[in-house]
Every structure is written in structure tokens, then in C-alpha cells.
């Protein structure tokens, strides 16, 4: 009698069902729509800036409020505590991210047309890795900005971790950092792939157990 794992691995090579193909094909849409919305917004408030300042991080660009002037103001304020200038050229991750998202959309459609359960699992792993790597890089860049301070700055402050999600007070500024629509859309894409993958693994286990029971195991 073949071991249950044999039936499970055989199931992984089974072509995807029609509803799975349609769902996977549709999941590429949120990835493409994410280009139309910012991924993250970092904002700050202070008595001298009652209307606040903000900048939006897109998958390919960096923009600021008030026609981009808010980034200039934020950099002027950061200069006093020795932080690096926040500029598009400094954010190298925005160079590769559009290509990664575009590749994920193409791989998603390829999986929908030609894939089997095994390829779906690979697709979910790749999508999850790209999302986690991008978020990890974002956290690391924030860490660098908060810890690599110029010792010659007019105002000396200890290194700090800028807020990642939520709000935090730094000096007399209240800073906020929250994901935006673009990140939500990418989250829907990755989450949808993983739900399909977990469903496939659960069904594969059922198939393997059923085959074992039919064989009298």
C-alpha cells in the first residue's frame, strides 16, 4: 500500500479547478490597482504646524502635501536633529518594487492559466516573501533614519525608532505612520493567495486520507 504522502503529492500535481483559476486571475487586479494609490503615509503635527505635514510613499515615488512642499519642511525639521534628507533618490527600494509587483501580476495570470496546486503554493510563497521583504526593508530604512544621526546637528537627541504603525511623540512633534490603500490592496492579493493555498492543502489532506481509507489503511 502506498503511503498517504504519495496520494498527497499526487494531488499537488492536479490542475487547478475553474473557480480557483478565475479567483487567481482576479487577484492580480488589486496588485495593478495598487499603483494608483500610496502605500504608506507619514505625517506630523506641532504647534507651529497646526495643519500638519505629511508625505506619501508610493510603490514608485515619494510625494508630499501642499504640492510637495511638506517634504521640504520635514527635511528642514529633520536637519535640526541630524536626520538624513528624505529624498526619492535615497529610497532605492522604490526602484525595484514596481517591477516586483508587475512580475507578481504576470505570475498570477500564468498560474491561473497553466497552474496546478503545486504552482499555486509556490506563487503564494513568492508573493508572501516579496510583501514581507518590502515591509522589512521599510522598517530597516526607518531604523536607519532614526539612528544614523549627524552628531554635529544643532539639537542632540538619542537614536530612536520612528513609529512604524501608530503614533508617537518626538520632541514637540506628534508623528503618525499608517498603511494606505495601496498596502491594503497588496494585502488582499497576498491574503487571497494564501487562503486558496491553505484550502488546497486542506483538500489535499482529505484526498490522501480518503485514498488511504479506500485502500483499507
Candidates 55, 58, 51; CA nearest to 75 is 55
- Which residues form the domain of 196? 4-214
pLDDT of residue 211: 65
pLDDT of residue 148: 87
Instruction: Please report, for the domain that includes residue 120, its CATH number.
Output: 1.20.140
Helix (H) or strand (E) holding 75: helix 69-81
pLDDT of residue 101: 95
3-state helix, strand, coil in the chain (%, to 5): 60, 15, 25
3-state secondary structure 7-32: HHHHHHCCECCHHHHHHHHHHHHHHH
Q: How far apart are CA 142 and CA 157, in angstroms?
A: 16
CA end-to-end distance (rounded Å), the chain: 8
Burial track 63-85 (b if 16+ CB lie within 10 A, e otherwise): ebbeeeebbebbbebbeebbbbe
Per-residue model confidence as pLDDT tens for the chain (217 residues): 455 567 677 777 888 889 999 999 999 999 999 999 999 999 988 888 888 899 999 999 999 998 889 999 888 888 888 888 888 777 788 889 999 999 999 999 999 998 888 999 999 999 999 999 999 999 998 898 888 888 888 888 788 888 899 998 877 778 899 999 999 999 999 999 999 999 888 887 777 667 667 766 5
In percent, the amount of the chain with pLDDT more than 70 equals: 91
User: For 77-130, what is each residue's pLDDT tens digit?
Assistant: 888 888 888 887 777 888 899 999 999 999 999 999 988 889 999 999 999 999
Asked if 192 and 27 count as a contact pair (C-beta separation under 8 A), the reply is yes
pLDDT of residue 132: 95
Candidates 168, 186, 193, 176; CA nearest to 38 is 186
Asked if 54 and 70 count as a contact pair (C-beta separation under 8 A), the reply is yes
- The total domain count for the chain is 1
Amino acid at each position: 500500500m502506498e503511503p498517504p504522502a504519495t496520494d498527497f503529492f499526487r494531488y499537488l500535481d492536479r490542475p487547478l479547478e475553474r473557480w480557483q483559476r478565475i479567483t487567481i486571475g482576479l487577484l492580480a487586479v488589486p496588485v495593478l490597482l495598487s499603483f494608483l494609490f500610496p502605500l504608506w503615509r507619514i505625517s506630523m503635527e506641532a504647534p507651529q504646524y497646526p495643519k500638519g505635514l505629511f508625505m506619501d510613499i508610493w510603490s514608485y515615488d515619494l510625494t508630499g502635501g501642499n504640492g510637495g512642499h511638506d517634504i521640504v519642511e520635514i527635511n528642514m525639521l529633520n536637519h535640526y536633529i541630524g536626520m538624513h534628507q528624505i529624498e526619492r533618490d535615497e529610497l532605492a527600494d522604490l526602484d525595484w518594487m514596481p517591477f516586483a509587483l508587475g512580475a507578481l501580476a504576470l505570475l498570477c495570470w500564468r498560474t491561473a492559466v497553466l497552474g496546478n496546486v503545486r504552482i499555486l503554493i509556490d506563487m503564494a510563497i513568492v508573493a508572501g516573501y516579496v510583501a514581507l521583504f518590502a515591509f522589512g526593508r521599510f522598517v530597516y530604512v526607518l531604523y536607519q533614519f532614526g539612528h544614523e544621526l549627524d552628531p554635529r546637528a544643532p539639537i542632540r537627541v538619542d537614536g530612536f525608532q520612528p513609529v512604524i504603525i501608530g503614533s508617537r511623540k518626538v520632541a514637540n512633534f506628534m508623528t503618525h505612520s499608517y498603511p494606505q490603500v495601496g498596502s491594503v490592496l497588496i494585502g488582499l492579493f497576498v491574503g487571497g493567495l494564501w487562503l486558496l493555498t491553505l484550502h488546497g492543502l486542506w483538500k489535499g489532506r482529505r484526498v490522501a486520507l480518503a485514498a488511504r481509507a479506500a485502500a483499507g489503511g
